[in-house]
Amino acid sequence: MFPAILTHRRGVDKSVIRLLRDRTEGNTMIKVWRQVQENHVEDYHRKDLYTTLLMTLVKPGAIVSAFRHQFEAPPPQREMPSAHLLRHAFLLAEAENVQDYRSQILSTFGTVLKMDSTKKVVKKLSGEGKGTAEWFTSIGNEYSQIVSFILTCEESTECLKPMCQGVMDRFQLANQPVPKILYVDRGCCRAQGPTALESLFKTWVDGGMVVRLDIFHWIHRFDAAIRTDSHSKYAVFKSALAGAVMAYNRADLELLIKAVRAKDPTAFNRVTDEDMVRLYVSSERLKHHVRRVTLGAQETFRLVQIAIDELKGPAGLDESGVSLFKSTEAIDSMWEAQQRHLECMQDPPEMSMYRVARSTSINGVDVPYYKCLRGSNSLEGFHKFLPQMIPGVLSNMLSVIQSIS
């Protein structure tokens, strides 16, 4: 006897069902079926060889033939159930956990939310669900947890309203405070009147929530005015844009420099702080141990304008004399269009955009390890990995929803 999932005609061992839970791109039902079949064949061959050897011993003239023992021939190998049956059993097993998944999602809240959409997930839909959805839209929190998601045929206010209203109602029923900020990649502001997102989350906006534009997306909007990303001055321009929006926290930077100096105080005694950062502090350590703050709309405007004006001239040419920008008119038009988003990228006043995940020791100096709450890149990373979590090249609607949950 063994624990099994019972279908209409057969039972599938739960240990086989567990093989299907691995969220990898190549973990298809066919792969698991082949693996189980290989195990069965190997086990059958071992039993068949043992029984065959026993039968040879009782042949006339063999060693134990005088004892007149009778050994039965090995039974015929049973046919393996199809991969379709394994999928059916897997869905039956996961259906028992739907209520637990639902409870986990409905008990997830947050103060910094991110909202993003992708088409990658719906491309895996097959069967009756194929063609019924075009967009997968989800809302995440500052802990990279999914607050809610929805499959829609378009990114319209009417299609997204049920999810947004449901999330707001859930927060209210649980007596959770209104989130402080919502990060998006577009639709953050408009010249007149409320935006579509502000209309969808009207209750929260009236309660003090602000909608902010992801800085990463704002920076990459300038790619439309750039000739090619392989230009030698491309990285310089992007670094200048990032430096115009955010700056490193001085206290965190001094603590990190102190920790790096502690490795060899005598050798680093004469090295300046600027050279320590340039030569001995890696970008990974800067990312995780030094917080960044926004500089304000006016300072960002001034620094971006300086960078663009500088790269319009000889400083923006590569070794062949090719300019970084497609034309002066192209970069000026792009910069004029993006100026209205300068306020949308600023951090809310008196709000920390980092949380301390843990404390690490660098050369005997305790340094906080920070996790950034800003932006929607964590949600986009989830969307990039999500298609690999869904078993198989194509899946039905139930498989997709259970994998997301």
**What is the residue-wise DSSP string for 373-391?**
--SSHHHHHHHHHHHHHSS
Average pLDDT on 236-261 reads 94
Average pLDDT on 215-237 reads 94
Higher pLDDT, 102 or 219: 219
Model confidence band, residue 217 (pLDDT cutoffs 50, 70, 90): very high
**Cα(193)–Cα(248) distance, integer angstroms:** 35
* pLDDT score recorded for residue 79: 75
Tokens coding 316: 């923006």
Higher pLDDT, 382 or 115: 115
pLDDT digits (tens, 9 = 90+) for 160-213: 999 999 999 999 999 999 999 999 998 888 777 788 899 999 999 999 999 999
Q: How far is CA 302 from the centre of its chain?
A: 34
Is residue 74 packed enough to be buried (19+ CB in 10 Å), middle (13-18) or exposed (0-12)? middle
Average pLDDT on 311-339 reads 94
**Cα(4)–Cα(8) distance, integer angstroms:** 13
Asked if 399 contacts 240 with a C-beta cutoff of 8 angstroms, the reply is no
The CATH number of 107-214+377-396, from 1.10.8, 3.30.420, 2.170.120, 3.40.50, is 3.30.420
Model confidence band, residue 132 (pLDDT cutoffs 50, 70, 90): confident
Query: For the chain, what are the domain ranges?
Result: 4-96, 107-214+377-396, 216-372
Report the predicted TM-score, pTM, of the whole model to 2 decimal places.
0.75
Mean pLDDT of the chain: 84
* pLDDT score recorded for residue 382: 84
Q: How far is CA 183 from the centre of its chain?
A: 15
* pLDDT score recorded for residue 46: 64
Model confidence band, residue 257 (pLDDT cutoffs 50, 70, 90): very high
User: Looking at 120-134, 280-294, 325-339, which range is the least confident one?
Assistant: 120-134
